[in-house]
Amino acid sequence: MFELKTISKAAITRSVEKAEHYRLLNEPAAAESICLDILQADPDNQQALVVLILALTDQFDRRLPESRPRELLARLHDDYQRAYYAGIICERKARAQFALSVPDANYAAYDWLREAMNCYEKAEAIHPPQNDDATLRWNACARMIMEHRLEARPAETFRPLLE
């Protein structure tokens, strides 16, 4: 239908800033589009990958699957960033699930938060000096669980029919 135009490599830094700006304006689809353009010009651009992961997770409230941002994790070079952003993906999925207010949403939110906390613990073990972001996010997850009294789904009491 259309052939997308390619941005110049000289415009990448400014384009990353623009994508971050659109995220702050709560326009994640615009940020996503810009990041895709950046990654077309520079497929290994780490900043654009991070902004794209965040822009995609900003859209979880629109029922975007978590598989899209998860696929991008493998392209991050840094082990800490892979673990940290895996936690971000899970935490944001939890918050989107919780906001749905549908049956079992609290259980799903709890499960996602616990997975996020596990990712943050992995990140915490290898965090760069003077970077406690993973600890801050772990605490935010724990506070949400405690504040909303979220808990694990009770074990099903399955009883087969007697023959």
Q: Which pLDDT score is estimated for 65?
A: 84
Distance CA 86, CA 72 (A): 10
Per-residue pLDDT of the chain (163 residues; tens, 9 = 90+): 999 999 999 999 999 999 999 999 999 999 999 999 999 999 999 999 999 999 999 999 887 888 999 999 999 999 999 999 999 999 999 999 999 878 889 999 999 999 999 999 999 999 999 999 999 999 999 999 999 999 999 887 545 566 5
Tokens representing 1 are 């239908």
Instruction: Give the start-to-end residue ranges of the domains of the chain.
Output: 1-74, 78-152
Distance CA 109, CA 46 (A): 29
Torsion of CA 81, 83, 86, 88, to 10 degrees: -70
Distance CA 146, CA 143 (A): 5
pLDDT single digits (tens) 34-78: 999 999 999 999 999 999 999 999 999 887 888 999 999 999 999
Q: Which pLDDT score is estimated for 61?
A: 85
Q: Where do we find the tokens 């996020």?
A: 116
Torsion of CA 38, 78, 131, 30, to 10 degrees: 20
Q: Which pLDDT score is estimated for 161?
A: 61
Distance CA 30, CA 76 (A): 22
